[in-house]
Amino acid sequence: MPGSSLFPEYHLPMRTKLHTTAVDAIAAAKAAGCVNNDITVHVGGFGLCGIPEQLIIALRDTGVTGLTCISNNAGVDDWGLGLLLQTKQIKKMVSSYVGENAEFERQFLAGELEVEFNPQGTLAERIRAGGAGIPVFYTATGVGTQVAEGKETRTIPFKGTEREYVAETGIWAELALIKAWKADTAGNLIYRMTARNFNPMMATAAQFTIAEVEEIVEVGELEPDGIHTPGNYVDAIVVTKSEKRIEQRTVRE
């Protein structure tokens, strides 16, 4: 029986995941060997919605270079990943849309930035596959286009029809910087509306995951069935005040 002389009870202290600042959270990742030059980094967000604003700044301030950033896009010139482009700390972008960043365009056309474009659904699935331990999967998206160049293709019978598919690889990163709405002290996360976007799958697909959140509560205060990312995927949490900028504001006169 638990608690008997044969099965004594053990109460192990839970490692704290909460950090005071984004700088402290990045330092924890560095201490774990996950912030170095030439690493791959997942960065959540869609446009400027659901981006880990302060974590991006803290990563920039470490001075690391040669980064491969996995992100739907590169933010704008003066915010989000645009800040890392300004300092030329990004070597390669793996993205599906980058139309709002003039510095991105300049570096790409000048041959200063390597870019790997992915169909958006394929990018999301590559990240999810990385978190699920799936090294390769097949998709019909991109067959017969530049997306498939240099990749394995295979004709596979599926749903009663033979069709050509292209092989895509799962993505795993050393570091994931994600944004959530609310967390508890164990790292369980809830996202808010469209700010969820790429964040949940990125949280699962990295060696060290940091969540930047707007609010933190005690364990037990979140509705268990409403948790989007279980805390076992999250290594560090930091509460910040989001600026929530808008990429393009259009108003009537």
CATH number of the domain within which 36 lies: 3.40.1080.10
- Shared domain for 152 and 124, answered yes or no, is no
Residue 151 is part of which domain span?
136-169
The reply to whether 179 and 105 lie within a common domain is: yes
Q: Are the beta carbons of 177 and 207 closer than 8 angstroms?
A: no
pLDDT for the residue 3: 55
Is residue 217 in some structural domain? yes
Same domain, 57 and 107: yes
2 lies in some domain: no
Last residue of a domain, which of 122, 153, 169?
A: 169
User: Side-chain half-sphere of 20: how many Cα atoms within 13 Å?
Assistant: 1
Closest CA to 69 of 91, 53, 88, 52: 91
| Token pair of 144 as six digits | 């017969």
115 and 23 within one domain: yes
Category of 198 on φ-ψ map: left (φ > 0), alpha (ψ -120 to 50) or beta: alpha
Instruction: Tell me, yes or no, whether 29 and 140 share the same domain.
Output: no
Does residue 182 share a domain with residue 146?
Answer: no
22 lies in a domain? yes
Q: What confidence tier does 78 reach under pLDDT thresholds 50, 70, 90? A: confident
Do 75 and 31 share a structural domain? yes
CA distances from 71 to 19, 51, 82 (A): 24, 10, 12
Query: For residue 42, what pLDDT is reported?
Result: 97
Query: According to the model, what pLDDT value does residue 203 have?
Result: 97
Domain membership of residue 108 (yes or no) is yes
Beta carbons within 10 angstroms of residue 111's beta carbon: 7
Tell whether the model's pLDDT for residue 81 goes beyond 60: yes
- pLDDT confidence tier of residue 252, bands split at 50, 70 and 90: confident
Residues 71 and 183 in one domain: yes
Residue 249 lies inside a defined structural domain of this protein: no
On whether both 147 and 33 belong to a single domain, the answer is no
Asked, for residue 78, whether it belongs to a domain, the answer is: yes
Instruction: State the Cα–Cα distance between residues 190 and 200, nearest whole angstrom.
Output: 9
Work out the percent of the chain whose per-residue pLDDT is above 90.
78
**Which whole number is the average pLDDT over 130-139?**
96
Residue 144 in domain: yes
In this structure, are 52 and 160 located in the same domain?
Answer: no
Are residues 141 and 118 located together in one domain of the fold? no
Q: Are residues 67 and 150 in the same domain?
A: no
Angle between helices 22-31 and 53-62 in degrees, nearest 10: 60
For 104-126, how does the pLDDT look when each residue is reduced to its tens digit (9 = 90+)? 999 999 999 999 999 999 999 99
Q: What pLDDT sits at residue 10?
A: 56
Q: How wide is the angle at C-alpha 220 spanned by C-alphas 215 and 221, nearest 5°? A: 40
Give the model's pLDDT for residue 242: 81
The count of residues in the chain is 253
Q: Please compute the mean of the pLDDT values over residues 203-207 and round it to a whole number.
A: 97
Count of domains forming the chain: 2
- The answer as to whether 10 is a domain residue is no
